[in-house]
Amino acid sequence: MIRFILLLLIAVLFVVLTLPVLGILYLIGRKNPETRQRVCQKMVQWIFRVLLFVGGIKVPVRGQDGIPAGRGVLYTGNHRSIFDILIAYAYVPGPTGIISKDSLEKIPLLKQWMTAIGCLFLDRSDVKAGLRMIQAGCEQIENGTSLLIYPEGTRNKGESDLPLLEFHEGSFRMATKTGCPVIPVAVTHTAEIFEAHKPFVKATRVTLTFGEPIDTSSLTRDEKKHLGAHTRDIITQIIEETM
């Protein structure tokens, strides 16, 4: 319980105390948005790694070298814990935003930080808003900003990492429309950090694996229609090999 309170306190202090910095970066971003995003991402990755360290969470990382440099990609991961985003985002190279549920957009200060690193918010109840978000995501990817998405749509609350929930094929439209690579992202044992014994945070060793890129530009029309299922199979295989 003490570890949970400490992590929450650190996160709140970061968001509040860095508000002046965020204001300065906002002004910088009016002329140089790339610099603002780069600096903001480095700061967010730093605080995420601090939180993981304080939480006693060890993260061996595999597959980073295979991620294409200098272009936007679509990172797609399995989702078991609220810590999944911290773990994956702390180690993504290059400018990257996150596809998040729209409820987080209503949280003051957090919204400003998320927007600053290129996050997009998905309203699942509004089809037109979802299409606008996909278009915005395509533009970001084409401009070199990657996106991290969790195609299961919600946390998998099963007793173990497998089986995964079904991947929503619509989550991959940004990849098939832009032809960008899809990077499977597999994490293991993350539910053991918090969800398995709320409200306690337990020191845990997890594994983060970036799979080999899927070249969506070379897929057939039928393969694109089943890209979600294919990516799910790859992540499942990675987890099986890691467990």
How is residue 119 written in tokens? 């996050």
Res 109: pLDDT? 84
pLDDT of 41 strictly over 90: yes
Question: Is domain 2-242 given the CATH code 3.40.30.10 in the classification?
Answer: no
Q: Report the percentage of the chain scoring pLDDT > 90.
A: 85
Residue type, 23: G
- pLDDT class of 84 with cuts at 50, 70, 90: very high
How is residue 233 written in tokens? 């199979």
- Alpha carbon separation from 45 to 1, 85, 97, 106, 219 (Å, rounded): 24, 11, 12, 22, 33
pLDDT in tens, 189-198: 999 999 999 9
Res 108: pLDDT? 82
Average per-residue pLDDT for the chain: 95
Integer Cα distance of 164 and 78 in angstroms: 7
Res 185: pLDDT? 98
Q: Report the percentage of the chain scoring pLDDT > 70.
A: 100
The residue-averaged pLDDT of 226-230 equals 97
Highest mean pLDDT: which of 18-27, 49-58, 153-162?
49-58
| Residue 45 neighbours by CB under 8 Å, 6+ apart | 89, 90, 91
Res 60: pLDDT? 97
Residue type, 190: T
- pLDDT class of 104 with cuts at 50, 70, 90: confident
The residue-averaged pLDDT of 60-76 equals 96
pLDDT in tens, 106-163: 888 888 899 999 999 998 888 888 899 999 999 999 999 999 999 999 999 999 999 9
Res 129: pLDDT? 86
Residue with tokens 């070298």: 65
